[in-house]
Structure 1
């Protein structure tokens, strides 16, 4: 080491004097920079701390899902194609309906549609009997422009209907008792050159009754595909009061197409089954992938844009997943849309019967085409990161009766049938109904 130092010193001394001066100056400057530490003034006084109070609406903007692009307009950019089978009467516009089934509670029914627990609690407080919903009863409700619950109607029985209206102090309940007589009315028709809707209207069915027929048969028949010569028969139970029809309930349907008969008959639970008591609904998968992935953004129809402060609904859930993950159809249905569209990127929409629709967005590759029939579990696309997206994920939506619901909690169709005494009672009812559904 000493020898190296002597060699360096000897070399330095042999340099011309101007070079030695320059090299020495650079060395001193380098050492000065290396050891220099700026002096920082630290005041003795206590630092100022400012407390910021956040409104409840502001807190939402700090949740994990707020990191996702919440100004998406994908849901509005491409509406699901509609047809005459989707027509609603003026009185039904904006009304959401639900038939109570096994395991339902007021909370589980309304919460899946994004109605807040505060509204549900106030509603239950207005009538304790709402905690005892029974299978087959029907709920219907309307919302305010802000998405709050405005009115709920509970059809407890054929005789009694309770209505709950929002007030400044919660909800106010009113009860209405019907005093009319229920009479079964059988109607039938044969398709000519027009559609089933036209044929049914000519036979005297209302728009609401036609809708109930289509929904009852939705898993067996595509009414758009019926042909000239196909025949149908419907049994309606109608309440008549002072010679006027007050309300009605579908009892049974028979449809003959290509020489084959299809039946749907209502049971006590409000659902429809075939002549043997077998359920007509086709079961759904809960998730659109073969395995579960992390939810990066939850369903939130009231989500606020933290920048604009305006409501920017997130009508589905986002699953974070690697690009190229196979996306599956959650149920049997028909592809009604498969294309690239703005913020949604590549996306697919599948219609399942007339009640359910599912949508899959930000895909990398489409594996299906519009009009194609798919089965539960079929691959319909590969996940991606197209459109307005912050990272690879799948945006998945479930719509029931043209209203978005929470895909993680929604009551999805199950393949089921009646058993035991329920089946025996149903088969006895079938023997009474079928003779009234004659076609000849």
Structure 2
């Protein structure tokens, strides 16, 4: 270092006096530019200046990305799906349902749907039986407009259900034991322009129609059936004192444009085709070819660090360079591909009946509405459009019209039955298929 300084000094002294003066002046000017900071004065009525009162008694922590969450400037899934099977309660509450799979617990199921961990712990501590959910059982729950858990229904068996209603800080249990007779019924019909109306004419109620569309969601969209297509549905119905109390879909067969579609229930509560192959289309966890840093996480109860208001962040933000390929996480149909205000360029894709994904702040769109996409297809290039302070991708996953954490949500995967489970299923499927045939 001393040798470098000595060399610079000798070189400087060897310069002529005018050159030394010029070089010294240049150094001083450069230092002045770095040190000088101009004062900025805003008029009192300037539209970008305002007084903010902070509640200093409440501790706050800034998230990784201090951007405001997006305002509701684009349609949410319940606004996109417009039929009577997707209506929400007028008070803003919503209901979700879930079939228990291997490894599931009450906690990991409800957490992925954004239910507060305190609500889950309260329910589980008061009713310990919920810690013993079994594969094939179904639970459904409702939340209010603020996302608080209000009710949980646990279908223990075809004969027993348990309802847990919230009363203050307590969940009250009510057991319902069914005492009616169960009978299998085959209901058949032809599509006449509106599937819901055609199914009701065949004797199906709204709950049963919803079960049919859900079972078939990975094979076809029932709203796009052609006039004259046939359907056959096998329902197991309980009749008590002359009334139908509840029902369970056992199988469905649709003949559309000369092609057969089957969905048959197995003992695990899931639906498979007549060969025992899973109907679900597998999803990728992330919409990119490689992992990127999450700059802002999923948080339905996110408190705005400035305003103090709860402003939910319904997705995750991935920090990535502009122009990074964005991929569809699964097979589906593009519902929206356009530019909006805060969202910038964005894409909405529907996967089956239950799942919707949304991708925002894109630089370039590579798909258009109505286009069918496969898992891994390029749908856009990431960008910095709309209300965004830096290049990133805002990605959302919605299940049953409820935003869930895409990093932890349990995603559908392609699977089939094997071994004893498959042999048992095939015996059942043979009987169901014979009942679903068209004359």
Which residue does the alignment assign to 1:106? 106
1:268-309 superposed Cα distances (whole Å, 9 cap, x missing partner): 111100111100011000000000000011111111223332
1:353-383 superposed Cα distances (whole Å, 9 cap, x missing partner): 1111100001010000000010000000000
Q: Distance in 1 between matches of 2:202 and 2:78?
A: 32
1:232-272 superposed Cα distances (whole Å, 9 cap, x missing partner): 10001111110101111100000101222111000011110
Which residue does the alignment assign to 2:95? 95
Q: Distance in 1 between matches of 2:62 and 2:105?
A: 31
Q: Distance in 1 between matches of 2:205 and 2:76?
A: 32
Work out whether 1:364 is the aligned partner of 2:363. Answer: yes
Secondary structure of 1:213's match?
helix
1:183-220 superposed Cα distances (whole Å, 9 cap, x missing partner): 1111000123x222211010111111111101111111
Which residue does the alignment assign to 1:309? 308
Cα 1:123–1:83, aligned 2, differ >3 Å: closer, same or farther? same
Q: Distance in 1 between matches of 2:74 and 2:349?
A: 14
Q: Mark the structure with the bigger radius of gyration.
A: 1
1:91-148 superposed Cα distances (whole Å, 9 cap, x missing partner): 9972111111121110110000111111111111111111111111111111123211
Which residue does the alignment assign to 1:388? 387
Cα 1:77–1:160, aligned 2, differ >3 Å: closer, same or farther? closer
Cα 1:167–1:83, aligned 2, differ >3 Å: closer, same or farther? closer
Cα shift at 1:165: 1.7
Work out whether 1:140 is the aligned partner of 2:140. Answer: yes
Which residue does the alignment assign to 1:203? 202
Which residue does the alignment assign to 1:43? none
Q: Distance in 2 between matches of 1:133 and 1:177?
A: 18
Gaps of 5+ in 2: 1-12, 18-54
Which residue does the alignment assign to 2:7? none
Q: Are the equivalent residues in 2 in contact too, given 1:95–1:140 (CA < 8 A)?
A: yes
Which residue does the alignment assign to 1:11? none
Which residue does the alignment assign to 2:251? 252
Cα 1:384–1:404, aligned 2, differ >3 Å: closer, same or farther? same
**Superposition map of 1:233-382 within 5 A:** 233-382=232-381
How many equivalent pairs are there? Answer: 386
Moved more, 127-136 or 366-375: 127-136
Q: Distance in 2 between matches of 1:89 and 1:207?
A: 14
Cα shift at 1:386: 0.7
Secondary structure of 2:183's match?
strand
Q: Distance in 2 between matches of 1:223 and 1:437?
A: 18
Secondary structure of 2:342's match?
helix
Work out whether 1:176 is the aligned partner of 2:179. Answer: no
Secondary structure of 1:96's match?
strand
Cα shift at 1:75: 5.2
1:400-422 superposed Cα distances (whole Å, 9 cap, x missing partner): 11111110111111000001111
Q: Are the equivalent residues in 2 in contact too, given 1:89–1:207 (CA < 8 A)?
A: no
**TM-score w.r.t. structure 2 length?**
0.84
Cα shift at 1:80: 5.2
Q: Distance in 1 between matches of 2:112 and 2:379?
A: 26
**TM-score w.r.t. structure 1 length?**
0.84
Q: Are the equivalent residues in 1 in contact too, given 2:70–2:342 (CA < 8 A)?
A: no
Q: Are the equivalent residues in 2 in contact too, given 1:78–1:341 (CA < 8 A)?
A: no
Gaps of 5+ in 1: 9-51
Q: Are the equivalent residues in 1 in contact too, given 2:88–2:94 (CA < 8 A)?
A: no
Which residue does the alignment assign to 1:129? 129
Cα shift at 1:76: 5.1
